[in-house]
Amino acid sequence: MRKLGYSNFLRNGDNCDIRRLLAIRKVVWFTRFCSVKGYRGLVERYLEVEVSGFGRDGSPIKFDACGWKARILQHEYDHIEGLLFVDKMVPRTFRTTANLQLVLPSGCPKLGVYEASTNL
């Protein structure tokens, strides 16, 4: 787990952690960043994560997230670490929204959920 000094999604300024849960499944999907309008890239994320930190009143909080919520929390966590989706995207998958239906380059993972064995 990594400790942070600022959290956009907990909005407290205290430390927060995010880590994958024991079920090691990932999802590959196109993602975007609002400041890079009209473009997307494939990013691999854990399908289930555990988030812990401190609430606005300073009390500890801990919750699990899965699916879309887990993907969004990991996306926001990347921002805390100074990363954009282009820093984490699968190589050769950056494209305009008009070209999302084009065939992915050879060697790219398929869209969807799969089993993985690496840590976040």
Looking at residue 21, what is its pLDDT? 62
Report whether pLDDT(34) > 50: yes
Q: Catalytic pick from 48, 76, 81, 115? A: 76
Mean residue pLDDT of the chain comes to: 80
Structural domains in the chain plus CATH codes = 16-115 (3.90.45.10)
Least confidently predicted of 2-6, 61-65, 98-102: 2-6
Q: What is the Cα–Cα distance from 61 to 19, expressed in whole angstroms? A: 14
Q: Which residues of 1-35 are buried (b: 16+ CB within 10 A; e: fewer)?
A: eeebeebebbebebebbbebbeebebbbebbbbee
76 catalytic residue (yes or no): yes
The answer to whether the CB of 115 falls within 8 A of the CB of 25 is yes
Give which of 55, 53, 40 is closest to 101, Cα–Cα: 40
State pLDDT tens for residues 41-54. Answer: 999 998 988 888 88
Q: What is the mean pLDDT of residues 64-90?
A: 89
Looking at residue 56, what is its pLDDT? 82
Please tell me the number of Cα atoms within 13 Å of 56 on its side-chain side: 3
Report whether pLDDT(71) > 80: yes
State pLDDT tens for residues 12-22. Answer: 344 677 776 65
Report whether pLDDT(120) > 70: no
